[in-house]
Structure 1
Amino acid sequence: MIGAIIGDIVGSRFEWDNHRSKDFDLLTYKCFFTDDTVMSLAICDALMACKTDYSDLSEQAVRCMQTVGRPYPNCGYGGMFNKWMYSDSPEPYNSYGNGAAMRVSGCGFAGNSIDEVKMLSHEVTAVTHNHPEGIKGAEATAVAVFLARSGRNILEIRDYIDKHYYPINFTLDEIRDTYKFNETCQETVPQALVAFFESTSFEDAIRNAISIGGDSDTLAAITGGIAEAYYGIPTHIRKHALTYLDERLLNILLEFENRYPSKLEKIQSSGSVSFKEEAVKTEKRIGGRGVMMQSAMDAADEALKKSSSQPEETSSQKLFSHLFEACNILRGPINQDEYKSYVTPILFFKRLSDVYDEETQAALELSGGDEEFASFPENHRFVIPDGCHWDDVRAVSENVGVAIANSMNGIERANPDTLYGVFSSFDDANWTDKNKLSDERLKDLIEHMSKIRVGNENYSSDVMGDSYEFLIKKFADLSKKNAGEFYTPRSVVKLMVKMLDPKPGDSVYDPACGTGGMLIEAIRNMRDDKSTYGKIYGQEKNLATSAIARMNLFLHGARDFKVKQGDTLKSPLFLHRGELQTFDCVIANPPFSLKAWGADQFSSDIYGRNFWGSPTDSSADFAWLQHMVKSMDKKNGRCAVVLPQGVLFQGGRGGEIRKQLIESDKLECVITLVSGLFYSTGVSACILVLNNNKLPEHKGKVCLIDASKIYTAQRAQNIMTDEDVEEVYNLFKNYGSVVEKAKLVSIEDIKQNDYTLSVNGYIERAPMETVNPKEVKKKFFAALEETIAAEENLKSLLTEGGYISE
C-alpha cells in the first residue's frame, strides 16, 4: 500500500513545476504527502472497518474519508471534493476526476478475485466519482494492482488493460513533450499505467511517471500502487518514505500492512528481484508515532535480512518487462504480428551465448584457467564458432543486421544435429534490410538485450521456459493468425499429462507438437529425470513453429529430444524398421477438422494407419486418432488427444470409425470441455483417453465426464484454474458415476445407444426444482420495475451531465 504513498510524496514537488526527465532526487526535504496519500489511507481504513461481506463498505468509505480527511484541509483537495468532504449529507457529484483512481490501491490488495476487486473499487468510488469514466479509471487501477499482486507478468497485465479498459497504443517518449496537466481519469490513468508497463523496477516506474509532467503526484501515486504490487519496495525507499507520515496516517498504514503484508524489492546485479509477501511478513507494532516508526523500520530491516538467503536469480518479472521493451524498440518499422520473428531468435541467440560462457567459465575453473581446455567441444553442449558470439555482434557498429544474420547462420551450420534451422526457420525476419531496421535501431536492440544475462545461472529452466511460453501466447494474440494451431491452454495440457502420468523412462510422442508445450509438461511430470533423455519426440508441419518447439524445449532444460519438421499424416518421420515407431505416451492437440489433408493417400496408407477406415478429405480428426493409436506401444501405450466434440456423435465414415474404436475397448475416458476454452476459437472440444493396458476394473467400460461446467469464466475467454483441473482429474481417477458430472457406462450401454458418445445423453441429472408460476411472474414484474427505474436514473444522470437534453 505504501507504493501509492511514495509516488504521491515523490510527485508532490513536481505537480506545479513539471520535470520532464527521469533524472532527479527521489525524496528530498521539499517533498510532502498530499490528498492522494490521505484518501488512499482513508480507503484502507474503510476496508478494515467494514463487515467481512463488505455490505457496508460504501458507508464506511464515506465515514472514513471524512474522518481521516478533515484534519488535513490544506492537503490539496479539489473544489467539489472539498465541499463533499465537509458536507453533513455527502452525495456523489458525477465526477470523472483522477482522484477516483489515486485512492483505490488498497482494493487491489484486499480483494481475493478480479470480480471482488471490481466490486470493492466500485463501492469506494461511486460515493463521489459516479461518472462512468471515474468508475472505469478506479477499476482499471485496482485490477492492475490485483493482477500484479497475483503474480501476473507485466505483458499479461498490459494485455488485460488494453482489452478491457484503455488502448495502450503509445509510449512515454511519444507523449513526453506534449502531455499537459489533466485531472481526468481518461487522461491520467492510461499514462500512469504505461509508466508502469515501461518500468524495470519500482523506482524506475516512479521516475517514468514523473518524467511526463502533468498531475505528477497523482500520476506517480497510481503508478506506485501497481509497481509496489509487482516489484515490491526497496527497503531504503520504504524507510525514508515512512518519515513523511504523521501518527494518524502511519497508524492506518501499519494496520493495513499487518493485514495485507507488503513485498520487498531487491536490486541485484541480475536485475530487480521481488520476494513474496509471506517470505517477508513481519508484524509492526501499533502505538505512539515513535513506537510505530521504530517498529516499521525494524520490520523493513528484518525483511531485508530474511531475503538475503534467496538466490540472486533474475526474476521472471524482469524478463517479461525486458522482452516487452525489446518489442517497443522494434515498434514502427516492424509490425506487431512480426515481433515473434525477431524477438524469438534474438532471445535464443543471447541465451546460447550466455550458456556457452557459463560452460567456458566452469571449464576454466576445473582446469585452473586453461583456455585451450575450456574451448574443447566436450566442455560444451553446442558450438559457437569464432566471430558468431553475442559479444562479436555487440562490437559491430556498422552493418549490424549482417553481423546478426551471419552469426545465426554460423551457429546453425556448426550444430547441424541440434540447432540447424532454429534461426533460418524465421524466414520473414529480414535482419539486413536497413530500410526496415537501421544500424541504430539494431544497436539499441542489442544493447537492450545485453543488459541482462539469460544463462542457466540467471534463470532456472522452468522460469526461462515458462516466460518464453507466455511470450509465444502474447505473439499469437498480437498476430491473430491461427494462434490455436500452436498454443494449447496450459490447463488442458496439465490435465492430459496428469491422466497419462508419464513415468521416468517412458517415451512420449506428440505428432502435432506445435511449440512443444505438451512435451514440456510431460518432462515436468517426470521431474526432468535424466531417463527422459532420448525419450521425447515431436513432429510439427510448420517450419517456424517446429523451430520454436526446439527452442522451447531447450530453454526448459530438455536434453537429447527429437523434434522433426514435416506433415505427420502424409509423411510420419518416426519409423522403426519400416513401421511406425511406438511410444508409451502419445499426446496431441491436432488442428481441428483439417481439410484437404490427403485422404486419398491415407486410404492406402503404407503404415496401416487406416485400420478402422479412411475419413473423408473434409476432416482429418479420425485420421489423427488412428495415427496416434497406431503409435501406441502395444503393451503399455496410453493416448490423450483433443478433438472437436463432433467426433462423439457424427455419422457416416466417422460413425463407423467411432464404432470400431468403442468395440476395441481401448477407449478409457471421454471428457467434454466448455466452449471458448481454446485460444482464438469458440469450438467445443473434448479429450479422448485411450489405453492398451486398461485396469481389469476398467475393461469393457468407458468413463464419460461432463466438464462443460467445470471452468472459470473471464470476460475475454473461459479458463480452467488448477482447482478446475484437479476436479476433472479426480473424476477420472475415481472412475465412477457422479450426478451431473460423470457416468461410468459399459460398451454394451454405448452399443444400445447407437455407438454415440454424447456425454449429455448418459449423465444422470439432478431433479429440476419446480417453481410456482405465480412466483415466476412476480419476480419478472419486480425485475421489470427495477429495469425501468435504472433507465430513468441513467437518463437523469445523462441529462444532469449535459450529455442529452430533455
Structure 2
Amino acid sequence: MLGAIIGDIVGSRFEWNNNKSKQFDLLTYKCSVTDDSIMTLAIAKALLESKSDYSDLSENAVKYMQNIGQHYPNCGYGGHFREWIYSDNPKPYNSYGNGAAMRVSACGFVANTLEEVKQLSKAVTEVTHNHPEGIKGAEATAVAIFLARSGKNLLEIRDYITKNYYPLNFSLDEIRDNYEFNESCQGTVPQALEAFFESKNFEDAIRNAISIGGDSDTIAAITGGIAGAYYGIPTDIRKHALTFLDERLLKILVEFENNYPSKMEKINSVGSIGIERNAETKVQTGNRKTMMQSSVEIAEKELNDSIPTNEETTSQQLFNHLFEACNILRGPINQDEYKSYVTPILFFKRISDVYDEETQDALERSGGDEEYARFPENHSFDIPVGCHWQNVREASENVGVAIVKAMNGIERANPDTLSGVFSSFDDANWTDKTKLSDERLKNLIEHMSKIKVGNANYSADVMGDSYEFLIKKFADLSKKNAGEFYTPRSIVKLLIMLLDPKIGETVYDPACGTGGMLIEAIRYMKNDKMTYGRIYGQENNLSTSAIARMNLFLHGAKDFKITQGDTLRSPNFLEKGKLKTFNCVVANPPFSLKKWGSQQFSTDIYGRNMWGTPTDSNADFAWLQHMVKSMDEKTGRCAVVLPQGVLFRGGREAEIRKQLIESDKLECIITLVSGVFYSTGVSACILFLNNNKKNDHKGRICMIDGSDIFTAQRAQNIMTDNDVDKVYNLYGDYKDVIEKVKVVTISEVKDKGYSLAINNYIERKEQEITPPAEVRKQYFDALEKMIEAEKTMMELLLEGGYVNE
C-alpha cells in the first residue's frame, strides 16, 4: 500500500506539468500528499475497522473517506467527489473516474483469495464509482496487487489482466508522445498497468508511470501499489516518503503495515530482490516523532540484517535474470515453449563462458601460448571456430541461423557428451522470422550477454539451483504434465534420505525427467569424485532428457549416463543381455500411465513381470517391478512415488501387491498430503523397498501417515525441509505412534486381504462421544430457536407489508 502513496507523492508535482521522460529527481520538497494517498489510507482504515466478514466494509468506507477526507479540503478532489465528501447523505454517482483505482491497494494486501479481493474492491468502490468501468478499473488494480503479493510473476499477472480486464496491446514508447491527461479508469488504469509490466524494479515502475504524462499522480499511485507488492520498496525511498505524512496519516499506515507487513526491495548488480518483512516486527505507535523513529530504525535494521551474498539469494537473483528472458520471448512464443528456447540458450552461454575461463587459465599457465590454450585437453567442451557465443552476438542479420549453426557445431564437436543436447528441442524454431525477428533475437542475446555464467561467476550449486528455480517455473507455467516434468524438491530430498546412497554406490532413475533426483543423490554424496560414472537415468521425452543432461552439467556433475527411450518397452541399461542392477533405484514415474505396452511386458525378456502383468490402462506396478528387477540383489534399495491406489486396488494389482508383500522387500510406506504434486490432485505415496533389511525390520512394514505433515500455501500444499525431517524421523524410529505410524507384520497384512491402505492399520485417538440424551437436548434447543426465528421473521415481513396474513 505504501507503494501507491509513494507513487502519488512522486507524481504530485507533475500532474499539471507533465514530464515525458524517466529522468527527474524522485522525491523533492516540491512533492506533496494528494487525494490519492488520503483516500488510500481512508480505505485502509475502513478495512482495519471492519468486521471479520467485511459485511460493514462499504459503510466504513463511506465513514472514513468522509471523516479523514474532510481534514484535507485542498488536496485535489474532483468536483463530484468533493460534494460527496461533504454530503450528509452520500450516494454513488455513476462515476468511472480513476479515483476508483487509485485508492484500492489495501484490498490487495488484506484479501486471502482472488474472489475475496474482488469482493473487497467492489465494496469500497461502488459507494461512489458504481459505473461498470469504475468497478472494473478498481478491481483490475486490486487483483494485480493480490497476484503480485501472492508470488505470481510478471507474465502470469499480465496474462490474467489481459484475459479478464484490458488487452494492453501497446507499449509505453508507442503512446508516450501522444498520451494526454485523462481522468477515466479506462484511460489511465491500462497505462498504469503497462508501466508496471515494463518495469525492472520499484523505482523504475514509478519512473515509467510518470514518463507518459497524463494524470501523473494517479497513474503513479496505481502503478506504485502493484510495484510495491511485487518488488517491495527500497529502504531509502521508504524513509524519505514517510516524512511527507502527518501524524494522522502516518498512524493509519503504521497500523496497517503492522497487520499486513510490506516487502523491502534490494537492488544489486544482478537485479531486484524482494525481502519479506518479519511479521513479528511491529512499529511503535504514538506521536509522529515516535512512529517516525521506530519506522526508520526497523527499516534500517531489516536492511542491515539482509545478506546479499547468501547463496539462496544469489540463485534467486540469477533466476530472475534468466526468467526475464521469457519476457523477451512473450508474444510470438507460447509460454509452454519457453523452456525450449531459454534452456538451450542458457546452456550455450554457460559453455562459452566456461570455455573463455579455461582459455584464460591456459594462457596464464603457458605464458600466453594461444595454440596451447586451444588444445582440447584444456577444455570441458570443444567450441569450433565460428560457434562461440560472441560469434552469434556479432551477427547483424539471420540471427536465428547463427544460433542454430553454433549449437549444431558444438554438438558435432562433442559427440560423446553433447550429442542431441541442443537439437532435442525440436519445437524450438530459431530460424522462423515470423515468430522470432532478428531484432527480438538480438534483444535476447544482449539480455543474456549482460551476465557471465561461468564457473568463476557462479558456483555449480548456485548455477544449478537457479536453473532448478527456472525448471519449477516452467512447470508452473506449463500446467499440463507438469507433475511429470518437475517433482517438488522436498519430495526428492525425502526419497534420497530414505535411500541413503553411500559414496561409490550406483544410482539409477528410470523416469528421470529433468534429473532432479540424480542431482540430489550426487549432492547427498557431497559431489564426491566416486560418483563419476555411477549416475544413470532414462527419460522417454527427447527434450526433457536433454534438459536432464544440461541440468546435471550445470550442477557440476561429470561422467553420468542419461539416455532417451521408453523404459518399459526398451530399457537402455543392460549387462550381458540382462537388466543392469544398481545399489539405489529412485523414480517418480508418470502416474497411471495408459497404453504403455502391457502385451509386450507379459512376455518380457528381462523377467520384469515376475509378479504379474498389469492392464494396459495403468502402468504403476509395471514401473515398480522394473525398479525391483533393477535393484542389486544384495544391497539394492528402491524409493518410488506412486498414486495411493497401488495400496488397495483390486484385480490384477491385488495379486501383484500380494507377491510384493510376501517378498519381504517392502520396508516402509509413506502417504503424502494431496495436492503436493503439480497439476494433479491425486494423493500419492512413497514405497521404500530394501533387499537388505535390518534383522528387526524383516517380516515387518512401517506405515506412516504423512497426510497432515505439510505446510499450506495459497495455490498448493508443500512440504518444507522441516516437514521432510519429521517424516524421515518417524521412519528412523520405526515404532508405533498413535495417529502417525503403525509397524505391521506381514501376517497382519495377510489377515486384511493384503491391503496396504494405511487407515486400516493406524491407531486413532479415541473420539469423545456425546451421550444420546445430550444430542437430543441440543437438537430440540436448536429447533426451538429456529421456530422462534421464523416467528420473528414473519412478524417483520408482515410489519413491512412484504406478505399478507
TM-score (ref. length: structure 2): 0.81
Q: What's the % identity of the aligned pairs?
A: 69
Partner of residue 606, structure 1:
605
| 1:624 shift after superposition | 0.9
Q: Which residue of 2 aligns with 1:656?
A: 655
Alpha-carbon shift at residue 751 of structure 1 (Å) = 0.8
Q: What are the Cα deviations for residues 431-475 of structure 1, in whole angstroms up to 9, with x where unaligned? A: 223344332232222223223333345445455434434443444
Distance 1:78 1:697 in 2: 80
* Corresponding residue SS for 2:112: helix
Post-superposition shift, 1:204?
1.7
Q: Which residue of 1 aligns with 2:143?
A: 140
Q: CA deviation at 1:155?
A: 5.2
CA distance in 2, matches of 1:146, 1:91: 32
| Counterparts of 1:534 and 1:106, CA distance in 2 | 56
CA distance, structure 1, for counterparts of residue 423 and residue 389 of structure 2: 17
Is the contact made by 2:114 and 2:143 (CA closer than 8 Å) also made in structure 1?
Answer: no
Aligned residues: 781
- Return the offset for 1:656: 1.8
Aligned mates of 1:303, 1:267 — CA distance in 2? 14
Q: Which moved more, 1:44-53 or 1:336-345?
A: 44-53
Q: Tell me the alpha carbon deviations over residues 628-676 of structure 1, each in whole angstroms, 9 at most, x when there is no partner.
A: 1122233332222122333223333322211110001111223344555
C-alpha distance 301-136 of structure 1, shift in aligned 2 (>3 A): closer
SS of 1:619's partner is: coil
Residue pair 1:743, 1:763 contacting (<8 A) in 2 also: yes
Contact 1:96 1:135 in 2 (8 A): no
What is the CA–CA distance in structure 1 between the aligned matches of 2:787 and 2:23, rounded to whole Å? 59
Q: Secondary structure at the match of 1:660?
A: helix
> Deviations 1:103-154 (Å, cap 9, x if unpaired)?
5656777x6xx73898799779845657775884565255245335xxx655
The CA distance in 2 between the partners of 1:369 and 1:292, in whole Å, is 63
Match of 1:797 in 2: none
> Matched residues in 2 for 1:678 and 1:235: separation?
37
Is 1:337 equivalent to 2:336 in the alignment? yes
Partner of 1:798: none
- After TM superposition, give the deviation of residue 422 of structure 1 in Å: 1.3
Change (3 A) 1:62 1:757: same
Q: Which amino acid aligns with 2:271?
A: G
Q: Which residue of 1 aligns with 2:581?
A: 582
Q: Is the Cα–Cα contact under 8 Å of residues 155 and 327 in structure 2 kept in the other structure?
A: no
Cα distance in 1 for residues equivalent to 2:786 and 2:416: 68
* Paired letter, 1:223: T
Conserved? CA contact 1:597–1:620, under 8 Å: yes
Q: Within 2, Cα distance between the matches of 1:427 and 1:60?
A: 58
In structure 2, relative to structure 1, the CA distance for the partners of 1:362 and 1:478 (3 Å cut) is same
Greater Cα shift, 685-694 or 415-424: 685-694
Deviation at 1:200, TM superposition (A): 1.7
Letter in 1 for 2:74: N
Q: Deviations over 1:487-514 (max 9, x none)?
A: 3344433443343344544432210011
- Residue 71 (structure 1) aligns with: 71
Whether 1:678 aligns to 2:681 is no
What corresponds to 2:5 in structure 1?
A: 5
The verdict on how the C-alpha distance between 1:266 and 1:488 changes in structure 2, with shifts beyond 3 A counting, is: closer
Larger Rg: 2
The one-letter code of the counterpart of 1:512 is A
Q: RMSD of the alignment, in Å?
A: 4.7
- Aligned counterpart for 2:112 among listed residues 112, 115, 126: 115
Measure, in 2, the Cα distance between the counterparts of 1:330 and 1:220.
27
Q: 1:372 to 1:591 in 2, by over 3 A?
A: same
What is the CA–CA distance in structure 1 between the aligned matches of 2:411 and 2:67, rounded to whole Å?
A: 69
User: 1:101 deviation in Å?
Assistant: 5.4
The more displaced of 620-629 and 443-452 is 443-452
Q: Distance in 2 between matches of 1:250 and 1:86?
A: 23
Asked whether the equivalents of residues 479 and 678 of structure 2 are also in contact (C-alpha less than 8 Å), the reply is: no
- Counterparts of 1:159 and 1:721, CA distance in 2: 29
**Structure 1 counterpart of 2:535, which letter?**
I
Relative to structure 2, which stretch is displaced further, 685-694 or 333-342? 333-342
Report the residue type matching 1:73 in the other structure. Answer: P
Q: Which moved more, 1:512-521 or 1:174-183?
A: 174-183
Whole-angstrom CA distance in 1 between matches of 2:414 and 2:307: 40
Contact 1:33 1:245 in 2 (8 A): yes
One-letter amino acid matched to 2:700: K
Query: 1:743 offset after TM fit, Å?
Result: 3.3
Distance 2:319 2:170 in 1: 17
Where do residues 137-216 of structure 1 align in structure 2 (5 Å cutoff)? 137=140, 139-144=142-147, 146-148=149-151, 154=154, 172-173=171-172, 176=175, 192-211=192-211, 215-216=215-216
CA spacing shift, 1:312–1:433, aligned 2, 3 Å: same
Question: Match of 2:745?
Answer: 746
Q: Which amino acid aligns with 1:72?
A: Y
Give CA deviations for 1:288-316 in whole Å, capped at 9, x if unaligned: 66x97788778777776776974799855
CA distance, structure 2, for counterparts of residue 519 and residue 780 of structure 1: 62
Give yes or no for contact 1:635–1:693 (8 Å, CA) kept in 2: yes
Q: 1:95 to 1:406 in 2, by over 3 A?
A: same
CA 1:636 to 1:312, structure 2 compared with 1: closer, same or farther past 3 Å?
Answer: closer
Instruction: Provide closer, same or farther for how the CA distance between residues 550 and 102 of structure 1 changes in structure 2, counting only shifts above 3 A.
Output: farther
Query: Match of 2:759?
Result: 760
Query: Letter of the aligned partner of 1:681 in structure 2?
Result: T
Shift of 1:756: 1.8
Secondary structure of the corresponding residue to residue 453 of structure 1? coil
1:400-419 CA-to-partner distances (Å, cap 9, x unmatched) read 11111111111112222222
Return 322-331 or 85-94, whichever deviates more. 85-94
**Shift in CA distance, 329/43, structure 1 to aligned 2, threshold 3 Å:** same
Structure 2 unaligned runs (5+)? 794-805
CA distance, structure 2, for counterparts of residue 403 and residue 695 of structure 1 = 59
Q: Which moved more, 1:497-506 or 1:713-722?
A: 713-722
**Matched AA of 1:629:** V
Query: What is the Cα deviation at residue 35 of structure 1?
Result: 2.4
Superposition map of 1:87-106 within 5 A: 99=99, 102-103=102-103
Aligned-partner SS, 1:751: helix
